[in-house]
Structure 1
Amino acid sequence: MKAKLLAVVSAAAFLSACANMNIPGVRDMADEGSAFDAALHQNYADLAQAEYDEADWADARYFTSRSKMAAAGQDSGPQMIAERTLPEGSMGEIEVARADLLAALDGGGRDKAASPAARAQTSFDCWMQELEENIQQEDIDNCRSAFYQALAIVQAEIDTSPVAKAMPMAMPVPMNVYFGFDKSEIDSKGMSVVDGIAEAYAKYNPAMISLVAYADRAGDAMYNDILAKSRVDAVVSALRAAGVPASKLAISISGEANVPVSTADGVAEQGNRVVTVTFEDGM
């Protein structure tokens, strides 16, 4: 009886969540605001769909609401930090990031760089949502990297002083391409990161791009070195296909040594199945 009751309650909750969200319909709403609002409209719809696909009804509903507001030209800005319960140790960076974002938006970013400004705001909100969830480090890193990449573009567009134009643009934060267990194929999430790396290369023109390949500590160390090499080879191939020249790519194989997430031997840690990509400015 309890099982049946739980099933009924779960089904009711599911139907209620679906009834409150019509993401395709929201996506198709006519835009009544600025180009910035229109970009927010679609970006928030993307976030809503992603959370809906993961059965995160609360966040799907939240991002659907934000998409509706943006379509109506009534955006309220990046989410307030107090509205999320964030992990200890993340507040300092988040507070600075939000302040920098607001400064860029209020400094003309919404008008001068509408698309990257919208991407910066929605990536910030995505970053906070993933931090609160604190389950998928890959998703946290992806939202964080997307935020900093977009913010740097906005900051460059709004700063028109001669000194600023003469100074080299700061390189973006490192980006991570994650892999499945014992896999070297790049999945759809990984390809979105690769696309971001290629876009950043075209924007920043770095002197070099450093790629360090890792593997978790499950299995034989020699095998993990081979696996790490296969992973970085896949990233290099994808970047070259996207227009990044091989001469700009510096490869290092770390395998299970000096992994990003320290673990005991034999532990299959998702955070260590990764190729870390860092832009070097040559200075």
Structure 2
Amino acid sequence: MIMQNRYPAPIGKLRSLFVATLLALSVSACAIGPYDTKELAGLTPPDSQFLQGLSNEYVALGDLERDEYDWPDTARFYDRAIRAGKGEMVEPEALEKRDLEAAGRQELKQARDRLTELFNAGARSIAGPGSARAQAGFDCWMQELEEGHQPDDIANCRAMFLAALSDVEASVNGALVVLLPEDDGKLGVIRVENQQGSVVLDTVRASALVGRADTAPLASGTFAEDDVWVVFGAAIAAGPVPPVTFMLYFEQGTNVLTPESQVLLEKVLETIRQRNLPQVEVSGHTDRSGSTAYNDRLALDRAGIVGQEILNLGVPENVLTVESFGERAPVVPTADGVSEPRNRRVEIVIR
């Protein structure tokens, strides 16, 4: 933009000198504080292509605003770059953070909803770089629309967002497979295969996408832990609760629980109360200090006492199994006639 100088020469020179001094001070100030991205140099890149790309995209946006001496937005974008570089899952900027006109706000809301829907489908993990460009394009578009005086910049940011969004939408179509560890922490191996090819998943949160029957499965990297809960949280919560096993111990030759096991029994009963449709297996065991026949009866007596406590909760009899193993399944193998406290027990499995 060209402006005509309406000031007399001396005043114009003074004004130019003042502006030059102000800009010099501003440039000096931007080397420290919220305008400095040197902090990124000392960070270990996050284990996420999305966050790595997002941090770089925000640095680029901050650089553009810095060149225009827009210090608040420089600080805003650099701050988001640093947060992403530290591994924080930075969300697209909220519309409430900007002073927007009604017409622009409506279009931005629709755009943000589309982007959020893709993120909820796992796009940040499936198409990390494209998702980063889409989010940066959205934030850039909103920032320029708030300023409202650079229509070319508004159009460029909007175009950046829409192009990246289109690429991401094309990437997330298909069946998604993510390898998660079992409840005990063990990790298996999954082969995702069709007639066009296969992908082996053997690391935690490794993922693959099968777009169409006529295309081979595509390895899509390590799924972000946050995205696992965003995408699969409801399914995980609806899945079966893993079984829980308890051990209750008895005084020698009696059906009296040890004091510690009497306390633990309350935890057993509370666990059963928390299950909607529990299946409970109770098995009695003894050591080898008595005869086999005596131990069979004693083990069944012990299991029956625990089983009755469970029935007293209102648990239907058809979900409870009570059995005796006597001395035949010791935890600690011993010779006949040996007393072993760890073998005098009732095992309870709650499914």
What is the Cα deviation at residue 111 of structure 1?
0.8
| Equivalent residue in structure 1 for 2:150, among 122, 136, 139 | 136
Aligned residue for 2:88?
74
Cα 1:120/1:28, change in 2 over 3 Å: farther
Aligned residue for 1:54?
68
- Separation in structure 1 between the aligned mates of residue 134 and residue 41 of structure 2, nearest angstrom: 19
Q: Deviations for 1:175-196, whole angstroms, at most 9, x for unmatched residues?
A: xxxxxxxxxxxxxxxxxxxxxx
What is the Cα deviation at residue 39 of structure 1?
0.6
Alignment of 1:81-160 (within 5 A): 81-160=95-174
Aligned residue for 1:16?
29
Aligned residue for 2:53?
39
- Separation in structure 2 between the aligned mates of residue 141 and residue 93 of structure 1, nearest angstrom: 13
Gaps of 5+ in 2: 1-13, 176-210, 214-351
- Separation in structure 1 between the aligned mates of residue 162 and residue 54 of structure 2, nearest angstrom: 17
Gaps of 5+ in 1: 167-283
- Separation in structure 1 between the aligned mates of residue 105 and residue 172 of structure 2, nearest angstrom: 27
For the 8 Å contact 2:37–2:82, the answer to whether it is kept is: no
Equivalent AA in structure 2 for residue 48 of structure 1 = G
Equivalent AA in structure 2 for residue 90 of structure 1 = G
TM value normalised by structure 2: 0.42
For the 8 Å contact 1:23–1:48, the answer to whether it is kept is: no
More helix by share: 1
Cα 1:10/1:34, change in 2 over 3 Å: same
Cα 1:27/1:105, change in 2 over 3 Å: farther
Equivalent AA in structure 1 for residue 129 of structure 2 = S
Aligned residue for 2:77?
63
- Separation in structure 2 between the aligned mates of residue 61 and residue 76 of structure 1, nearest angstrom: 15
For the 8 Å contact 2:54–2:133, the answer to whether it is kept is: yes
- Separation in structure 1 between the aligned mates of residue 19 and residue 124 of structure 2, nearest angstrom: 47
What is the Cα deviation at residue 35 of structure 1?
1.1
- Separation in structure 2 between the aligned mates of residue 146 and residue 165 of structure 1, nearest angstrom: 27
Equivalent AA in structure 1 for residue 120 of structure 2 = D
Aligned residue for 1:270?
none
Equivalent AA in structure 2 for residue 87 of structure 1 = E
Aligned residue for 1:212?
none
Q: Quote the RMSD (CA, aligned, Å).
A: 2.7
For the 8 Å contact 1:33–1:72, the answer to whether it is kept is: no
- Separation in structure 2 between the aligned mates of residue 76 and residue 64 of structure 1, nearest angstrom: 12
What is the Cα deviation at residue 109 of structure 1?
0.2
Higher relative contact order (CA 8 A, sep 6+): 1
Aligned residue for 1:227?
none
Equivalent AA in structure 2 for residue 134 of structure 1 = G
For the 8 Å contact 2:130–2:167, the answer to whether it is kept is: yes
What is the Cα deviation at residue 15 of structure 1?
3.0
What is the Cα deviation at residue 29 of structure 1?
4.2
SS at match of 1:90: helix
What is the Cα deviation at residue 106 of structure 1?
1.6
What is the Cα deviation at residue 11 of structure 1?
4.9
SS at match of 2:90: coil
What is the Cα deviation at residue 12 of structure 1?
4.3
What is the Cα deviation at residue 104 of structure 1?
0.5
What is the Cα deviation at residue 107 of structure 1?
0.7
Q: Deviations for 1:245-280, whole angstroms, at most 9, x for unmatched residues?
A: xxxxxxxxxxxxxxxxxxxxxxxxxxxxxxxxxxxx
For the 8 Å contact 2:30–2:36, the answer to whether it is kept is: no
Equivalent AA in structure 2 for residue 99 of structure 1 = D
- Separation in structure 2 between the aligned mates of residue 57 and residue 147 of structure 1, nearest angstrom: 23
For the 8 Å contact 2:39–2:82, the answer to whether it is kept is: no
For the 8 Å contact 1:117–1:154, the answer to whether it is kept is: yes
Equivalent AA in structure 2 for residue 34 of structure 1 = S
Equivalent AA in structure 2 for residue 38 of structure 1 = Q
SS at match of 1:55: coil
- Over alpha carbons, which structure has the higher Rg? 2
For the 8 Å contact 1:45–1:67, the answer to whether it is kept is: yes
